[in-house]
Amino acid sequence: MALILKYFVAGLVRYWLIHTDYWQTISNRVEIATPLNSWKRLIEGIYLYDHGIDPYEGDSFHESPIVLVFFHFMLKKVPYLLPLIFTLMDILTAHILYKTSKAFVLILEESQEKIKQNIAKESKTMLLNKSQLNEAPDYVLSVYLFNPYSVLNCVGMTSTVIQNLLVSVSLWGAASGQRLLACTFIALATHQALYPILLVVPISILLANVNKGCNKCSYNRTLLIFVLCWSFLIYISAYIMNGSYSYFYNTYGFILTVPDLKPNIGLFWYFFTEMFEHFRLLFVCAFQINALALYVVPLTLRFHKEPVLLATVLIALSTIFRSYPCVGDVGFYLAFLPLWKHLFTFMQQKFIVGCAFIITSVLGPTVWHLWIYSGSANANFFFGVTLSFATAQIFLITDLLFAYIKREFTLKHGSSRQIDGKPAKLVLR
């Protein structure tokens, strides 16, 4: 009953806000809408498509052809249901995250059982009990349903709502051992936004662990199915566009080359605004390597035994360093943090990070108003806030990873420290 009430209240809040006078303001906010996910741009693309004009010829539409056809059908048949559809998709995302976190909890419990014999005697009390494990999914659900970032993302009717749904289904499929489901939906998410391709690695590991087969064979099957699904989606998109692959430049090309420098909560726009043009290619490559490839191998080597943590961290890093991020991406990965609440005691920067999130979330709209409307600030002020927001997220992820390593060490070696056979103590001088 409590779960149904949560769904109802969260859905009611979203649906009500979409029908208020503030909806237009929310849907146009730079923190919520980007050139990739904006509802306004989607409507423009549908209008062009409906009048027989290729929406990818201009520079306003950057969604995939599949999303274009889906919303074209919706606007033609049931336009009055669109607010309800967005609300239901977001509530469905929350429900799938709840089911996913339940599956993740079973994986965490199983991994804990494997290392029990290697745990120090004095660290036995640190092991997670049933009640601690069972309450984590409820926290995940609540954080996603009532997180202002997630709520505003849904109210703004951005296509990030769809991306979050696709990623959540793929993670649930992986945690449940359903390879085809996981690969299909991560291919759909990749086809829409490209950066979810990073999740192929933790999904492959999860499927191998859950299905308990030959790891190498499992990885190969997962990769093969993903490539086939993604190739099929590319072919279908070309078929929708009458056999033309010209949409590539205004979808994947747009994400990778970052031609639109409209301010957002990311790091790309300011650097490329200030940069000399002849250095642009170098820095585009450097930024995209940082977002797409740099962290996958080292993190996988270190955390391959914890694919759930690896997936959480990769989602967060892709959110921070992608070319056009929004608060909907941030709200999505924040929902996974309650799974790791047993690490919070080992985290040292919780208060600082929490304050930074609150302050930057308030300062962002304030500084934007001062810059754009009052003319009493400039781009440096707004970028300072977005840089602080990104820094807070980086601190959060690094603190989470170090907390995991600290807990892992403490479980194995105990919490007591001795020097020359005597208890160690810290003396401030």
Residue 204 above 60 pLDDT? yes
Residue 66 confidence (pLDDT): 94
Instruction: Give me the mean pLDDT over the 130-150 stretch.
Output: 90
DSSP string covering 278-336, please? GGHHHHHHHHHHHHHTTTHHHHHHHHTT-HHHHHHHHHHHHHHHSSS--HHHHHHHHTT
Residue 419, pLDDT above cutoff 70: no
* CB of 338 closer than 8 Å to CB of 139: yes
pLDDT at 119 > cutoff 90: no
CB contact at 8 A, 356 and 330: no
The tens digit of pLDDT for each residue in 363-384 reads: 999 999 999 988 888 889 999 9
**C-alpha pair distances (Å), 330 with each of 125, 147, 243, 319:** 33, 10, 36, 7
pLDDT interval class at 418 (50, 70, 90): low
The angle at the Cα of 176, spanning 101 to 119, to the nearest 5 degrees, equals 60
Instruction: Give the pLDDT confidence score for residue 115 in this predicted structure.
Output: 73
Q: pLDDT value at position 108? A: 84
pLDDT in tens, 227-266: 999 999 999 999 998 888 888 889 999 999 999 999 999 9
Q: What is the pTM of this model?
A: 0.93
Task: Report the pLDDT value the prediction gives residue 195, as an integer from 0 to 100.
Answer: 94
Q: Chain-centre distance of CA 42, in angstroms?
A: 21
Distances (CA, A) of 249 to 56, 242, 370, 374, 427: 8, 16, 35, 37, 61
Q: What is the pLDDT of residues 82-107, one digit of tens each?
A: 999 999 999 999 999 999 999 988 88
Task: Work out the angle at residue 282's Cα, subtended by the Cα atoms of residues 323 and 293, and round it to the nearest 5 degrees.
Answer: 55
Higher pLDDT, 358 or 133: 358
User: What percent of the chain lies above the pLDDT cut of 90?
Assistant: 66
What pLDDT score was predicted for residue 126? 74
Whether the predicted pLDDT of 424 surpasses 70 = no
Q: What is the mean pLDDT of the chain?
A: 89
Q: What percentage of the chain exceeds 70 in pLDDT?
A: 94
**Domain-wise residue ranges, the chain:** 2-253+262-413
Element (H, E) at 366: helix 350-368
pLDDT for position 423: 63
In this prediction, residue 422 carries a pLDDT of 65
Average pLDDT over residues 186-208: 94
**In the predicted structure, residue 183 carries a pLDDT above the cut 90:** yes
Average pLDDT over every residue of 13-37: 92
So what's the pLDDT on residue 275?
Answer: 84
